[in-house]
Amino acid sequence: MLRSLLLLSALFALPAQAFEWLPFSASYTADYKSAPFSGTAERSLVKLRNGDWELRFEGAMLVASLSERSRWRPDQGIVQPLRYRYSRKGLGSSKTVEQDFDWDTRQVLGMRKGRAFRVPLHRGLLDRSSLQLALQQDVANGKTAMTYQVLDETDVETHDYRVLGEEGVRTRAGVVRAIKVERVRDPGQSRRQTLLWFAPEWNYLLVRLHQRENDGKEYQIMLKSGEVNGERIQGRR
């Protein structure tokens, strides 16, 4: 009898349904608090004909533009990156980064500032863009503390995150209920702060991101409008 009750309790503790990737497209406002102008950003997740997925980000401001693309595939419940491309123009020197994840040879073949590089590849390694998807999935699955290995240009870094709780985020699409997540850093080594908000009612779409740099400069993107699996995002008015 006790065993049956424990089994029943465990079943009720499971999520109602497993997280499923759904295509989305979203538009955001983009603001640098140190600059007297704002910009726009577009973010989308597209399923390709061969079954792979691609996360696309395009940002534009008066004097700068940024493009980021990450091609990946789901592999036994984790995000497995295949190819990453980054390009930035303006706001200082321009920069491009290329990373190709060769899972047959277990190497990342990359290019940065015109120079080729190689990095050993292991299961679980993410690029900077697919990291957001891994966060989205783990928050959806109820995790409250997460650690990732991330290839930042040519260096592998450890990123730690924690869930802070729920908040209502006021967007142009209305007030959206969101899970607030913070990147955990050693306060003695860095003053940087990264906060992200994921919306459970919209398949945990990223609705806001706020970044504060060591020098105090701040950057934010905030949802304007979007669709998840063809359904228009609508918050509370």
What pLDDT shows up at residue 11?
A: 34
Half-sphere exposure of 151 (CA within 13 A, CB side): 33
CB atoms within 10 A of CB 166: 11
What pLDDT shows up at residue 13?
A: 41
Are the C-beta atoms of residues 80 and 122 closer than 8 Å to each other? no
- Higher-confidence residue: 34 or 3? 34
Six token digits for residue 101: 């994840």
- In the predicted model, is pLDDT for residue 2 greater than 60? no
- Higher-confidence residue: 91 or 167? 167
- In the predicted model, is pLDDT for residue 37 greater than 50? yes
- Average pLDDT value for residue range 144-167: 97
Per cent of the chain over pLDDT 90 is 74
- In the predicted model, is pLDDT for residue 14 greater than 60? no
- In the predicted model, is pLDDT for residue 104 greater than 80? yes
What pLDDT shows up at residue 1?
A: 41
- In the predicted model, is pLDDT for residue 6 greater than 70? no
pTM of the model: 0.88
- In the predicted model, is pLDDT for residue 41 greater than 70? yes
How far is it, in rounded angstroms, from Cα 198 to Cα 176? 9
- Higher-confidence residue: 5 or 219? 219
Q: What is the pLDDT of residues 59-83, one digit of tens each?
A: 887 777 889 999 999 999 999 999 9
Q: Would you place residue 17 in the very low, low, confident or very high pLDDT band (cuts 50, 70, 90)?
A: low
Mean confidence (pLDDT) of the chain: 89
Q: What is the pLDDT of residues 217-232, one digit of tens each?
A: 888 999 999 999 999 9
Looking only at the bridges linking them, the beta strands covering 125-127 and 145-152 are parallel
Are the C-beta atoms of residues 82 and 98 closer than 8 Å to each other? no
Domain ranges of the chain: 20-232
Three-class DSSP category at 137: helix
Amino acid, res. 224 = K
Which CATH number applies to 20-232?
Answer: 2.50.20
